[in-house]
Structure 1
Amino acid sequence: MLRRTAALALTLALALGMAAATARALTIRKTGEPETVTSWQRDACAESDAPDTPARAFRDAGGTVHLIASHSTARALTGPSLDAVRPNCAVIFQGHGKDDPRLNDDRSWISSFYTPDGSTVFALVSNEFHGQKRRALCPSGEYMRCWRNSITAAVSSDGGASFRLSAAPPNHSVATLPYPYGGDVGQRTGYFAPSNIVRNGDHWYAFLWAERFGAQQRGACLMRTDNLADPQSWRGWDGKSYSVRFVRETQAGDPAETHVCAPVAPDVLQGTVRSVVRHRASGLFVATLAMTRDGRTGIWTTTSRDLVGWSKPELLWAAPLLFRYGCGDAAAFDYPALLDPGSQSRNFEDVGKSAYVYMTRLNLDKCRITWNRDLVRMRVEIEGN
């Protein structure tokens, strides 16, 4: 019995030591103030041309860098390097405003990109069904009470110059709740805001945010696929393995709880995971989040070796956020994404000793959020090995 107790104590000590080592493995600190990448007042191609997703980047087959941080009518910044991208007013993607919620093709934010060769570019899309615009489905006419979200897929065959749905709706669906649209249910429901796509081993991974509804728990869910060309090949983490098959509606005898994901590290990932990159020297993954924790609001980082276990978050920068600001603040911030101009990956999925946190700065007008939003970036240094 004593030997067993000692062994358990040693195992616990080793586990705690490994967790502590992971937490101390990287030190990320800001080394500058936010600098403007694009100014809405100066650069917007249209009123709604404002950064409303985390910044994502990839290099096409010709070496041009595409940086996308856009609204539901999506445009890109393009240029010879991440440091030299400029606004391009060509529309690369938008949803089709379908009235049927089962099609998952209403207003759509193209959010995540991955290209194996610079010619074909796969993408994840955050699709919002706006029930308040269909009063027969949403008697209250209130946006938040009738909002259903899903994750869908798009693809480009011209190096990111334009995107189309990867299949005819609703077969382009990636992650959906297993419950039919309920209309005026009093809260937003579904899966939201996919992170960037990152390769690990033989699979591609992405985080998404889930709201509590039915059997689905609230938190950051993780999904993976071994075939980016097949939207329905993505499988969610169930707490033990990647076995959750997302469906649009369960059939008789098929329990809904088998088709919802389990939040990953819910006591750590308490906000939407905006980006995940791998630190080249250590091999650790670094996630960025905008959240309030321990009474402090701002941009946070956390690290992981396997995308499932995460270190205690560290506050990178204290700042007012999109949903956490005061009327005395000049601006609020959100959508932090870590990008390294010197990344060795075509998809900017790794970082070295320095990088930038790209963010949206929402310039407040008398305590109100308007279209006046800028894409900014803040230099950081990353120490550890």
Structure 2
Amino acid sequence: MRGILLAAALLAALPVSAATAGPGVAELRVAVPADARPETVFDWSGQACEGWDVPDAPARAWRSDDGSVHLLAAHTSARALTGPSLDHVAPDCKVVFDSGRKDDPARYDDRGWLAAPYTLDGRTVYALVHNEFHGHKRRALCPVGDYAACWWNSVTLAVSEDGGRRFRAAGYVAGIPYRFRGDLGHRAGLFGPSNIVQKDGWYYATAFAEATGAQKRGVCLMRTRDLAAPGSWRGWDGRGFTVRFLDPYAEPAEDPAGHVCAPLPAGRLPFTVTSLVRHAPSGLYVAAMAGRRAETPGAPPVSGVWVSSSADLLSWSPPRLAWAAPLMTDPDRCGAAETVYYPSILDPDSPSRNFEDTDGAAFLYLTRLRMAGCAPTTQRDLIRVPIRLDPVADR
């Protein structure tokens, strides 16, 4: 067993060959049909179990061992929609995961969003958790009392042993090698885990890092062979998957620079990756992101859903606009009646138990937020619109 573990550790540390991706990166075009109309999957006004029962994270889905489908777009008290298929799910008011709201940042149990469920057998479901410590609610730790100034984020693990009916916290996965500071003045840590995808025996996910100390800003890629071991995830360092995400409360870092990820190129993945899906016919992966940028140099910025493609999850194509739409993060959102956010691509016909691939016909899931002035309200619906994913020529 020691030999197997040593071999796995050495393999994880090996650089990834440039030949893996080839000289160019093929692309996928994601398009919404001109006559497509959004379909409401969850209607807050008529289906919410309580006021804050809202879709507040990208939609994820899995099939349990009894054949039922669970669709999750979690808030801090997470509930799932369940049914016989992804096309036929209904709300269930039972809470499957709840936040502990603990005052100690070292416990990683303040506010948590189930962000990335994955199951191998439909019975045991592992899930990466977007874990926020809200320092502004603890004035002794954050005298300024400002949410963004005292927002410290990490990625943790939750596990369900009953097909996803109930999850429990199961350990620290990833973060930055620094303890909480109430005087930093901006948010810090790793945010918004993507869904998990399997490739060549490894399980991959992304998270978005804010610049803090040795940690640079951008999309981090990490992987593991063992979903049950939260400490087994390793981050990309620019040459290989060698970054160990130590817990700074359990093991203070003597060399913080050795425990931070190297973000993937911002020109290819400029925003938080909220969805990863494999296009089965081509073998390419597509990353979905919500953001605002110019389609061409010098053009005015456009808000909406952007996509980028990759053969190996490391080399990505330039982002393409898939669907233009106002976003809740837009600087000019004030006065908008509705915005959208949290794009995710799911294919009801996917043979994967975790809906991690598509044959090219799928749905783009989004949260639709009703606005009041410049702020989103609790009136949030989960919607979906049909899309096509088709290859385009190599560049």
Is TM-score (shorter-chain normalized) higher than 0.5?
yes
Does the C-alpha gap of structure 1 residues 15 and 253 become closer, same or farther in structure 2, counting only changes over 3 Å? closer
CA distance in 1, matches of 2:192, 2:29: 27
Q: In the alignment, which of 303, 307, 325 is matched to residue 301 of structure 1?
A: 307
Q: How far 1:18 sits from its partner (Å)?
A: 4.5
CA distance in 1, matches of 2:20, 2:116: 34
In structure 2, the residue corresponding to 1:364 is in which secondary structure? Answer: strand
Equivalent residue for 1:147?
151
* 2:60 aligned with 1:64: no
In structure 2, the residue corresponding to 1:343 is in which secondary structure? Answer: coil
Equivalent residue for 1:178?
177
The code of the aligned residue for 2:98 comes to Q
Does the C-alpha gap of structure 1 residues 211 and 70 become closer, same or farther in structure 2, counting only changes over 3 Å? same
In structure 2, the residue corresponding to 1:257 is in which secondary structure? Answer: helix
Range moving further from structure 2, 241-250 or 100-109: 241-250
Equivalent residue for 1:10?
none
CA distance in 2, matches of 1:365, 1:134: 27
Equivalent residue for 1:82?
86
The 5 Å alignment of 1:341-352 reads: 341-352=348-359
Equivalent residue for 2:32?
30
Q: How far 1:265 sits from its partner (Å)?
A: 2.1
In structure 2, the residue corresponding to 1:165 is in which secondary structure? Answer: strand
* 2:321 aligned with 1:315: yes
8 A Cα contact 2:155 2:190, kept in partner: yes
Equivalent residue for 2:135?
131
CA distance in 1, matches of 2:356, 2:20: 28
Identity in percent: 50
8 A Cα contact 2:267 2:318, kept in partner: no
Range moving further from structure 2, 249-258 or 317-326: 249-258
CA distance in 2, matches of 1:335, 1:364: 16
8 A Cα contact 1:265 1:308, kept in partner: no
CA distance in 1, matches of 2:264, 2:304: 21
* 2:340 aligned with 1:336: no
CA distance in 2, matches of 1:253, 1:186: 22
Equivalent residue for 2:247?
248
Q: TM-score, normalised by structure 1?
A: 0.91
1:36-89 C-alpha deviation (Å, 9 max, x unpaired): 111111110010000000000000001100000021000000000000000010
Equivalent residue for 2:14?
none
1:350-385 C-alpha deviation (Å, 9 max, x unpaired): 011210000001111234311011000010012239
CA distance in 2, matches of 1:22, 1:84: 34
1:177-235 C-alpha deviation (Å, 9 max, x unpaired): 11111123100011111000000011100000100000000100010000000000000
Equivalent residue for 1:49?
53
The code of the aligned residue for 1:133 comes to K
CA distance in 1, matches of 2:237, 2:374: 41
Q: In the alignment, which of 101, 104, 107 is matched to residue 111 of structure 2?
A: 107
Equivalent residue for 1:227?
226
1:227-280 C-alpha deviation (Å, 9 max, x unpaired): 000000000001110000001228678310000001012211110000101001
Q: How far 1:15 sits from its partner (Å)?
A: 12
Equivalent residue for 1:369?
376
8 A Cα contact 2:160 2:166, kept in partner: yes
Equivalent residue for 1:11?
none
Q: How many residues align?
A: 364
In structure 2, the residue corresponding to 1:370 is in which secondary structure? Answer: strand
CA distance in 2, matches of 1:368, 1:145: 18
Q: How far 1:297 sits from its partner (Å)?
A: 1.2
Does the C-alpha gap of structure 1 residues 252 and 85 become closer, same or farther in structure 2, counting only changes over 3 Å? closer
Equivalent residue for 2:261?
261
8 A Cα contact 2:21 2:311, kept in partner: no
Does the C-alpha gap of structure 1 residues 62 and 252 become closer, same or farther in structure 2, counting only changes over 3 Å? closer
Equivalent residue for 1:273?
273
8 A Cα contact 1:281 1:384, kept in partner: no
The code of the aligned residue for 2:233 comes to W
Q: How far 1:17 sits from its partner (Å)?
A: 9.4
In structure 2, the residue corresponding to 1:132 is in which secondary structure? Answer: helix
Over 4 Å off, 4+ runs: 14-18, 250-253
Q: Structure 2: 5+ residue runs without aligned partners?
A: 1-18, 295-300
8 A Cα contact 2:327 2:333, kept in partner: no
8 A Cα contact 2:336 2:373, kept in partner: no
The code of the aligned residue for 2:215 comes to Q
CA distance in 1, matches of 2:39, 2:202: 35
Q: TM-score, normalised by structure 2?
A: 0.89
> Cα RMSD between the aligned structures?
1.8
The code of the aligned residue for 2:380 comes to R
* 2:379 aligned with 1:379: no
